[in-house]
């Protein structure tokens, strides 16, 4: 992941080197070479994913120079929210990569102390999930589309909720390979540590609106954004509503920067009338350059 960009883009190369310097260990080597088991540790995967996304975003801007498109708003799903803050000028990259490393460590420890699980359910709406959550004690962690919701909670409760969802007409239930019950009350003990880390950093006022996961509204001040980051650990990611908020503001084109295209797929399911592009390497950057802004 990212090796091609490291070789071909000075901006991307500097991003990977900046991450290594900020964290005090060769994260870039882990991103390029693995091993996968070490990379998948949430304390490593979170800064790795953010570093890759910022490397792609900077490489795109480097390639386009003064003609690079200007975003009307930025948003990110869970961890991706931190990437959006760098793009919006709220956090500098060295601070942001250290913050997500700390976030990963705190979430990992919370998962050890209060083990849990997550599952994606396809084919049921929010009303059906309200009842399932009430009966099992699980919580909605991500509302991704009209018919894709991720649940989070105690392992036994999640298994029971998956069974109930299947019995009540869910098209598919998928146990997610994660280390804890993220975006649920089982992450509560990580909040204080994240709040301390957030308060220790300088936050600039955003250069463009940042659409928050917890509110699905535009955040336009540093104070709002600080609250959003801490609040996000235990609260649901309202991705469907966030995308609709952006569309309602007049946006007709979305660009996902980073490895993979999960969010692009979700956006297409939320609103088929908008253009969606994923940028992850030089080939996709060239493709985007041919799209009208």
Taking the C-alpha atoms of residue 99 and residue 86, their distance in angstroms, rounded to an integer, is 12
- Is the domain of 33 the same as that of 52? yes
CB 116 within 8 A of CB 141: no
- Is the domain of 134 the same as that of 228? no
The residue to which tokens 């609106």 are assigned: 209
- Is 60 exceeded by the pLDDT of residue 292? no
pLDDT single digits (tens) 80-123: 999 999 999 999 999 999 999 999 999 999 999 999 999 999 99
pTM: 0.93
- Is the domain of 145 the same as that of 239? no
Task: Please indicate, yes or no, if residue 70 is contained in any of the structural domains.
Answer: yes
pLDDT single digits (tens) 161-201: 999 999 999 999 999 999 899 999 999 999 999 999 999 99
- Is the domain of 95 the same as that of 212? yes
CB 147 within 8 A of CB 111: no
- Is the domain of 191 the same as that of 125? no
Taking the C-alpha atoms of residue 133 and residue 245, their distance in angstroms, rounded to an integer, is 26
CATH of the domain at 147: 3.30.70.250
Q: Which of 125, 150, 175 is the last residue of a domain?
A: 175
- Is 80 exceeded by the pLDDT of residue 135? yes
**Domain span including residue 146:** 116-175
Task: Please indicate, yes or no, if residue 81 is contained in any of the structural domains.
Answer: yes
pLDDT single digits (tens) 238-277: 999 999 999 999 999 999 999 888 999 999 999 999 999 9
Taking the C-alpha atoms of residue 74 and residue 212, their distance in angstroms, rounded to an integer, is 9
**Nearest partner of 143 among 152, 134, 131, 135, judged by Cα:** 152
Asked if 235 is an active-site residue, the reply is: no
CATH of the domain at 206: 3.40.366.10
- Is the domain of 22 the same as that of 75? yes
Q: What angle do CA 270, 276, 277 make, to 5 degrees?
A: 145
Mean pLDDT of the chain: 94
Q: Would you list the DSSP string of the chain? A: --HHHHHH-HHHHHHHHHHHHHHTS-HHHHHHH--HHHHTSHHHHHHHHHHHHHHHHHHHHHHHGGG----S-B--STTHHHHHHHHTTSS-HHHHHHHHHHHHHHHHHHHHHS--EEEEEES--HHHHHHHHHHH--EEEEEEETTEEEEEE-HHHHHHHHHHHHHTT-SEEEE---SS-TTSGGGGGGHHHHHHHHHTS--PPPSS-EE-TTT-SEE-SHHHHHHHHHHTTTS-B-HHHHHHHHHHTT--EEEEESSS-HHHHHHHHH-TTSEEEEE-SHHHHHHHHTS--
- Is the domain of 200 the same as that of 264? yes
Q: Which of 142, 175, 208 is the last residue of a domain?
A: 175
State the greatest distance between any 2 C-alpha atoms of the chain, in Å, as a whole number. Answer: 55
- Is the domain of 95 the same as that of 156? no
Two tokens, residue 64? 């386009």
Q: What angle do CA 148, 182, 199 make, to 5 degrees?
A: 125
- Is the domain of 140 the same as that of 101? no
Task: Please indicate, yes or no, if residue 259 is contained in any of the structural domains.
Answer: yes
- Is 90 exceeded by the pLDDT of residue 290? no
- Is the domain of 52 the same as that of 140? no
CB 149 within 8 A of CB 168: no
Among 84, 152, 179, 183, the active-site one is: 183
Q: Other CB atoms closer than 10 Å to residue 288's CB: what's the count?
A: 19
Two tokens, residue 1? 């992941």
Taking the C-alpha atoms of residue 236 and residue 85, their distance in angstroms, rounded to an integer, is 19
**Nearest partner of 136 among 122, 156, 121, judged by Cα:** 156
- How many domains are there within the chain? 2
- Is the domain of 220 the same as that of 165? no
Asked if 185 is an active-site residue, the reply is: no
Task: Please indicate, yes or no, if residue 100 is contained in any of the structural domains.
Answer: yes
Whether the ω angle into residue 35 lies within 30 degrees of 0, i.e. cis, is yes
Q: Which of 147, 175, 203 is the last residue of a domain?
A: 175
pLDDT at 289: 77
CB 117 within 8 A of CB 181: yes
Q: In which band, very low, low, confident or very high, does the pLDDT at 3 lie, cut at 50, 70 and 90?
A: confident
pLDDT at 66: 57
- Is the domain of 229 the same as that of 97? yes
Q: Is the dihedral of CA 98, 100, 104, 106 positive or negative?
A: positive
Task: Please indicate, yes or no, if residue 180 is contained in any of the structural domains.
Answer: no
């Amino acid at each position: 992941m990212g090796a091609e960009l490291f070789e071909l883009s000075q901006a991307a190369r500097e991003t990977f080197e900046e991450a290594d310097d900020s964290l005090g260990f060769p994260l870039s080597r882990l991103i390029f070479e693995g091993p996968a088991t070490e990379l998948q540790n949430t304390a490593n995967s979170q800064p790795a994913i953010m570093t890759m996304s910022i490397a792609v975003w900077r490489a795109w801007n480097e390639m386009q120079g003064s003609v690079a498109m200007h975003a009307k708003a930025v948003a990110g799903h869970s961890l991706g929210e931190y990437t959006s803050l760098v793009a919006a000028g709220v956090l500098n990259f060295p601070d942001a990569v250290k913050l997500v490393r700390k976030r990963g460590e705190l979430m990992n420890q919370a998962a050890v102390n209060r083990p849990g699980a997550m599952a994606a359910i396809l084919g049921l709406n929010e009303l059906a999930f309200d009842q399932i959550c009430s009966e099992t004690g699980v919580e909605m962690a991500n509302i991704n589309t009209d018919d894709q919701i991720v649940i989070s909670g105690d392992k036994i409760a999640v298994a029971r909720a998956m069974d109930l969802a299947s019995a009540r007409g869910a098209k598919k239930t998928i146990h997610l390979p994660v280390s804890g019950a993220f975006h649920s009350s089982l992450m509560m003990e990580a909040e204080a540590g994240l709040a301390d880390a957030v308060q220790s950093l300088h936050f600039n006022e955003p250069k463009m609106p940042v659409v928050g996961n917890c509110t699905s509204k535009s955040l336009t001040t540093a104070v709002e954004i600080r609250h959003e980051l801490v609040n996000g650990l235990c609260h649901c990611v309202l991705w469907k509503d966030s995308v609709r908020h952006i569309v309602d503001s007049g946006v007709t084109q979305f660009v996902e920067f980073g490895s993979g295209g999960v969010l692009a797929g979700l956006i297409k399911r939320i609103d088929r009338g908008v253009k969606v592009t994923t940028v992850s390497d030089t080939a996709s950057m060239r493709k985007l350059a041919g799209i009208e802004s």
